[in-house]
Structure 1
Amino acid sequence: TAAWLIAVAGRTEFRERLGELLLASQGPYAGQAYCVALATFGTPADADLLVAYLDRYLRRPDLSYDQEAALGALLLLDARLGADRTAGFLTPGGLWQQWTDGSPGRDRDAPDPCRAYIGQLCAVAEQSARHGKAKR
């Protein structure tokens, strides 16, 4: 809940703490809101945190935590920033493929749906922020 409020309020002073919590990954799904917040902040520093997470957790095919959310958020940031930080993860034989191959049921072709889903969540946060400002 706190990460959603941080995203809606644009409280970038919590960037580093969100990155720490994301990297700590105490279990599945905990970091999705952290990824949304970082994507809404939209800076290279936020992309760096997502890259660090993916670099660590895509190497762990035994864990299904927030890899898809982080990849979706990084894809969004790449588009906004004109960067291509996801390329290294998505190359044939790269970490994304290794992670998806490590467990049946993971979809190697999931990057586009991941980006779309996180994009929808970011749109909710951004719309809530606009709505909150309009009420003031």
Structure 2
Amino acid sequence: MPFQHPKETGYGHVIERYVTRKDSDHPRYLELGSRRVLRPGWPHAERFTRHLIDDAAAITDVELEALLAYEWRSRLTAAWLIGVDQRTSFRERIGDLLLASEVCYSGGGYCFALARLGTHADAEILTAYLDRYLPRTDLRYDQPEALGALLRLDAHLGTQHADRFTEPDGLWDQWVQALAHLQDSPDYTPAEQRRWTDLHCDFASGWARP
């Protein structure tokens, strides 16, 4: 499907309003794609998170769809807004985008959104993604983020979807060992992926309105 700029559907304002707006030294999409928001003492944390909460509540479903129909910056931002506000109506759309993996950099946002939605249906989407992409030992897409999100959901739902991926010499180990730059890295253990997902989701939970 070709990308469609929001201005083509009369929603050109959503890029500046939600994606490139600056509540820190960098545009919002760059902050969401980094881990700076989790850094203790980050000077922009209060302003950034307050505006993100407000926008997640204010953005309409039509505006979110306009962002999801465009490129990675817009999709990443939309996924975060969906996750923060826990818009369950976008579960299927987010799942389709994750499984398609059409663009780079946005998949982490989809995994965050699914982890925040937090149901068995979200775990099934993440499981389907890992079934499709962990055997692809020739590429690095969003396998780490998907595993971290699935591990979090397993813990909250009392399920064991991730067990068959993380067993010794299973698909996760095979994928990591096939990518030379990931081998022996402490950043690519299942526990580390779960930790980062927990940090993002718990931080987002702390943004809840009083």
TM-score (structure 1 length as normaliser): 0.90
For residue 90 of structure 1, the aligned residue among 156, 161, 166 is 166
Q: Distance in 2 between matches of 1:97 and 1:27?
A: 25
Q: CA RMSD in A?
A: 1.4
Displaced runs of 4 or more, over 4 A: none
1:26-78 deviation per Cα after TM superposition (whole angstroms, max 9, x unaligned) = 24432101111111111000000000000111011111111000000000000
Read off the aligned partner of 1:47 and give its amino acid letter.
A
Structure 2 gap ranges (5+):
1-76
Paired-residue identity, %: 51
Read off the aligned partner of 1:65 and give its amino acid letter.
Y
1:22-61 to 2 correspondences below 5 Å: 22-61=98-137
Read off the aligned partner of 2:194 and give its amino acid letter.
R
Read off the aligned partner of 1:119 and give its amino acid letter.
D
TM-score (structure 2 length as normaliser): 0.59
Structure 1 gap ranges (5+):
none
SS at match of 1:20: helix
1:1-136 to 2 correspondences below 5 Å: 1-107=77-183, 110-128=189-207, 130=208, 133-134=209-210
Q: Distance in 1 between matches of 2:81 and 2:169?
A: 38
Greater mean deviation of Cα atoms: 97-106 or 16-25: 97-106
Residues matched between the structures, number: 131
